[in-house]
Structure 1
Amino acid sequence: MATDNTKAPTLGTASKTSIESAEMRREHDLLGDALVPSSAYWGIHTLRAAENFPITGVPIGHFPDLVRSLTMVKLAAARTNRHLGLLPADKAEMIESACTAILSSRKYNEEFAVDAVQGGAGTSTNMNANEVIANIALTLAGHAKGEYQILHPNDHVNMSQSTNDAYPTALCLSTLEGVKSLQRALQDLSLALKDKGAEFSDVLKMGRTQLQDAVPMTLGQEFEGFHVTVSEDILRLGEVASLFNEVNLGATAIGTGINSDPSYAPLVVKELAAISGHPLTLAPNLIEATSDMGAFVLFSGVLKRIAVKLSKICNDLRLLSSGPRTSLGEINLPARQAGSSIMPGKVNPVIPEVVNQVAYLVIGHDLTVTMCAEAGQLQLNAFEPTIAYCIMTSLRMLTAAIDTLTIRCIKGITANRQHCLDTVNNSITLVTALGPTLGYEACSHIASRALIENRRVRDIVLEEGLLSETVLDDLLCVEAMTRPSRRST
């Protein structure tokens, strides 16, 4: 390959180290020649894509699970093509060496340089992977980058593949990998909430509906409810993620398997399952599987469900800790930073607030995934890159937000026990417990008097001689109100 001492053209999101190199190599594609930094493992197709798509500033290398998944797909393909006699052993070994190098270290991640959001249904991502693997393989074998007559990105690394099966298969794999971290984070949060439920099991407080006093409960019951709702999502996440075990690898361009051996598809999926450790299966209808984004829509919906429920919990935490002196003030969130540049001593619920905002982003991503999935046409969905970006970003943000909530907030929450008890004793809605004995109308009268006269329910009942003190004490036992206690007479 010719070497030039001119500077590289601007390259969007690609590695700064690469584009600042003075040494260049010349590569060729259907549009003509272009200069690529000699230090870069990517090539001309990556260069074109980076110039065309300076969109988010987030390269695909920002998502290590996607890089690993793409690499595993290429490794499985090379092994299968070698087994079928389609790929010479020496070239298969070169590809295997390169893939092993990528899988064993993150040092090559910056070479996956194209923007995550791109036109072309992921072709740029696939080309980027092909070029990086080819050039790593060439250098490991003692050749120069760009000597594609020895090992070609498309003819050899991409053999028996199309972007339209390699890319979505990699997305399925990367989602399966990414969901592990989210499940772990949810499990940690669930356990922390359960611990708080036990710690606060004897803290009596008022429950509220529509922000109005309802009936007594314990703070422990409230946190146990949080624990259960998070635990449910761990199960739902696992159920839906299992859909990604079905892949379309071997479909090639549209699902017909053109340019692949008749036995390639089942063999390559079996090989990929062995490499990845996931129980992958070949989709029963590759035409359908190549164009359908249903699994991503459903999975994104579960991420939205998690986000909505987390946001609701954080809303409750902010309300329960509000004040600290002029509002509910039932719990104390751990102070993490000064809350105001003008009001000394103010501390804000910054951890729940940031989780709220992450939830809003995830909800927005879900709508985007829905629109992208709906916009597919005929045998392919061209908008898979944005689906991938939204899913992977939501997974990453949710995981980080949940870890932050668990470590920086939930574990440090304390209860204002006496204040909680005082609100119960002063509540008018204690009269609810008298309903089975006195009836709705009489209790309404008592509640109205208590509210107007600013008096306790107990005092009015005794004043009107409606019940004896002994019976009243039994009926107004707050602890009994936190569980079913009505008995037949």
Structure 2
Amino acid sequence: MQTRSEHDLLGDRAVPADAYYGVHTLRALENFPVTGTPISAYPELVAALACVKQAAALANRDLGLLDPDKADAIATACEEIRAGRLHDQFVVDVIQGGAGTSTNMNANEVVANRALELLGHAKGEYRLLHPLEDVNAGQSTNDVYPTAVKIALHFAARALLDTMAHLRDTFAAKAEEFTDVLKMGRTQLQDAVPMTLGQEFTAFAVMLEEDRGRLAEACALISEINLGGTAIGTGLNAHPAYAGTACAHLGALTGLPLVVAGDLVEATQDAGAFVQLSGVLKRIAVKLSKTCNDLRLLSSGPRTGLGEINLPAVQAGSSIMPGKVNPVIPEAVNQIAFEVIGNDLTVTFAAEAGQLQLNAFEPIIAHSLLKSLTHLRAGCAILAERCVVGITANRDHLAELVGRSIGLVTALNPHIGYENATAVAQEALTTGMPVRELVLRRGLLSETALDELLRPDNLARPHASA
């Protein structure tokens, strides 16, 4: 393998000649063989790093601190990375010591070496354009990394919001399809009162929309950035106008409503916005998992469970039991939810462990949040397309269950009185006879009146006759 020699404070190292990364990235590869997952696994993070480096170069050019030719080459290299090029050169592990320094160094080196090529020079000719003196000018890992992470989280959250909207619409379409399907509601897994299957599916859609609102609110909190604070928020080695200029360029590049934090010292050490976002993702996961629990329970059977709905069969369910089909899509989403709940605990501990002017554990915060966002997005997509869209209702079975349930007595209670309702319920439980038949036999209501009271639109919502 052909190599080139690069130098850092620890000495000289041979770097692969065709690599766009350099000696700092090489040492990080050796130091952190942790997960086997490189930062390129999160393309949103790589694109966000390129946005930050491009905004910084443009700001330094505007302020007369960076040669325009160098700034243009850096900006072009960043544009290419944002378009998907060179992502394979972002190789450091997602979990790393140094508060993200290895990630920042990796970005600096890749951008610098591509910019050198654009200027007609060879990789590694840093005397002509330097990863730290030019690409990282006016910056520190401590303001670059959290800013890039927040932008990456914005990108990933937008994708999740879109996918959640699709899942919401899929549930809403099913709710419309099932609007006339009467069934028994349950509390504590016991018969409660009648409702429609459409109402049950509407609730799933409403829960998703509520969580989309909370996620949008959490995203607003990560729009505040500390770029320009450099090492600890004092802005050392940055031009007085750099923070505002760089933020303006960054907002234009990303389309995000970014603002510079009012107190950069506070913003550099505070991980509260990450905790808030993680808590919202946990909320989404918990409610999504509850929905999947309901789908699995309602479809249990096919002969010995509730059997009220049918989930689409997507694969064989057993290597030993012929004909068995399992609710594999909801099960997968359940597991994603468990992971997100665990990720939230990781974020909590990492945020709490920050000391003095910096939180050194933002790499694990970024890894956990990006995993949660990415996996929740995938879970919502497969739940919509591989499960919800194909759900069917067992209408005859549902009607039979309503007819046999003593929950109907509750609906009749205002019309036949509590004592009569109790007597009917007890006889229904003892004999197994339908409530309707017992009410007619006892002469408590006429058949016409009973038919009217037991209409779905009377049973499943408030009505004047009550």
Q: What is the TM-score normalised by the length of structure 2?
A: 0.97
Q: What is the aligned partner in structure 2 of residue 270 from structure 1?
A: 248
- Please point out which of 76, 99, 102 is paired with 2:81: 102
Choose which of 68, 75, 78 in structure 1 pairs with 2:47.
68
Identity %: 60
In the TM superposition, residue 462 of structure 1 has moved relative to its aligned partner by: 3.9
1:357 lines up with 2:335 in the alignment: yes
Query: Residue 132 of structure 2 corresponds to which residue in structure 1?
Result: 154
Aligned counterparts of 1:107 and 1:472: Cα–Cα separation in 2: 70
Partners of 1:204 and 1:479 within 8 A in 2: no
1:320 aligns with 2:298: yes
How do residues 6-85 of structure 1 correspond to structure 2 at under 5 angstroms?
A: 22-85=1-64
Q: Residue in 1 aligned with 2:95? A: 117
- TM-fit CA distance, 1:457: 2.0
RMSD between aligned alpha carbons?
A: 1.4
* Residues in 2 aligned to 1:273 and 1:335: alpha-carbon distance in whole angstroms: 46
Note if 1:145 corresponds to 2:123. yes
1:383 corresponds, among 343, 356, 361, to: 361
Q: Distance in 1 between matches of 2:67 and 2:350?
A: 40
**Could you tell me how far 1:142 is from its partner in structure 2?**
2.0
Is residue 199 from structure 1 mapped to residue 190 from structure 2 by the alignment?
no
Q: State how far apart, in whole Å, the 2-side matches of 1:116 and 1:85 are.
A: 35
- Equivalent residues of 2:403, 2:436 under 8 A apart: no
Q: Which residue of 2 aligns with 1:14?
A: none
**Paired residue type of 1:428:** I
Distance 1:89 1:436, change over 3 A: same
SS at match of 2:314: coil
1:243 positional shift: 1.5
Whole-Å Cα distance in 2 between the matches of residues 470 and 97 of structure 1? 78
2-side partners of 1:63 and 1:478: how far apart? Answer: 49
What number of residue pairs does the alignment pair up?
466
Tell me the distance in 1 between the aligned counterparts of 2:122 and 2:369.
Answer: 37
Deviation of 1:466 after TM superposition, in Å, equals: 4.0
Mapping of 1:444-463 within 5 angstroms?
A: 444-463=422-441
Whether contact under 8 Å (1:201, 1:219) holds in the other structure is yes
Match of 1:426 among 379, 404, 414: 404
Task: Classify 1:431/1:137 alpha carbon distance in 2 versus 1 (closer, same or farther; 3 Å).
Answer: same
Q: Which residue of 2 aligns with 1:176?
A: 154
The 5-angstrom pairing of residues 300-449 of structure 1 reads 300-449=278-427
Contact kept, 8 Å, 2:406 with 2:428, in 1: the verdict is yes
In the alignment, residue 300 of structure 2 is paired with which amino acid?
S
8 Å CA contact 1:252, 1:259 repeated in 2: yes
Q: 1:442 Cα deviation (Å)?
A: 3.6
Consecutive unaligned residues of structure 2, counting only runs of 5 or more, are none
Given that residues 404 and 432 in structure 2 are in contact (C-alpha distance below 8 angstroms), is that contact kept between their aligned partners in structure 1? no
> Can you give the 5+ residue segments of structure 1 that lack an aligned partner in the other structure?
1-21
Classify 1:452/1:249 alpha carbon distance in 2 versus 1 (closer, same or farther; 3 Å): same
**SS of equivalent to 2:222:** helix
1:211-230 equivalences in 2 (<5 Å): 211-230=189-208
- 3-state SS in 2 of match to 1:428: coil
Letter in 1 for 2:16: P
User: Cα distance 1:203–1:469, how it changes in 2: closer, same or farther (>3 A)?
Assistant: closer
Deviations 1:222-242 (A, max 9, x none): 111111111112222112111
1:252 aligned onto 2:230: yes
